[in-house]
Amino acid sequence: MQGVAIPGDLGRLKDYTADHLVELGAGDLARSFNVMVHLGEELKRSREVEKKCFEENGKLKGELTQVTVERNFLNEKYSREVKFGRKFLESVAGQNWMENTKADAVQAFKESEEFKNAVMNEAADIYEQTVYDCRRILHGTGRVGVEDLVLLDPKLPVNFNDRGELVCPDNMEDEDDDAPPA
């Protein structure tokens, strides 16, 4: 038992019979064997996982190489096409094409309902502002009555502020209500 057990523990071993020591050793040996079998299985599984990872890594490297080659090809192709496009746009034919395209787009917009609506809305705003300006000027002379101001356009309301001045409905919120009447 020397070399197997600590010398201080040898005294304790004398209390056990040889059969009992063999039985204890066999139990430890069985447990050790089970641990070794389990570790062997784990080693086998880890080698399989490592092999799968290695194979996957190889596939990914191949895909990366393929993507890099494709990227370089597309970059070169794009560069050629951009150079060709720039040369074309800088040429007389390219400039004529651009001008014709712009003219066609402008013409198509002018013929659209969106353009017609925008023009009509702007014209309506200008008309209303002109009518209000005329009413304000005429009212300011003191020679034209409110009834006559309505005749400029009966659809547009005639509004006065607290000071008795004619105002456009858009400007009514902007008027200073705290100012004393004139």
Mean model confidence pLDDT for the chain: 81
Q: What pLDDT, on the 0 to 100 scale, is given for residue 5?
A: 64
Q: What pLDDT, on the 0 to 100 scale, is given for residue 116?
A: 94
In this prediction, residue 63 has a pLDDT band, given cuts at 50, 70 and 90, of very high
**Model pTM above 0.85:** no
Task: Give percent above pLDDT 70 in the chain.
Answer: 82
CA-based nearest residue to 150, from 163, 162, 134, 164: 134
* Side chain identity at residue 36, one-letter code: M
Instruction: Please give the Cα distance from 167 to 178 (Å, whole number).
Output: 16
| DSSP secondary structure of 105-173 | HHHHHHTSHHHHHHHHHHHHHHHHHHHHHHHHHHHHHT-S-HHHHHTT-TTS--EE-TTS-EE-GGGTT
Q: What pLDDT, on the 0 to 100 scale, is given for residue 13?
A: 67
* Mean pLDDT, rounded, for 150-168: 72
Domain boundaries, the chain: 16-93, 113-171
* Mean pLDDT, rounded, for 112-121: 93
Contacts of 113 (CB under 8 A, 6+ apart): none
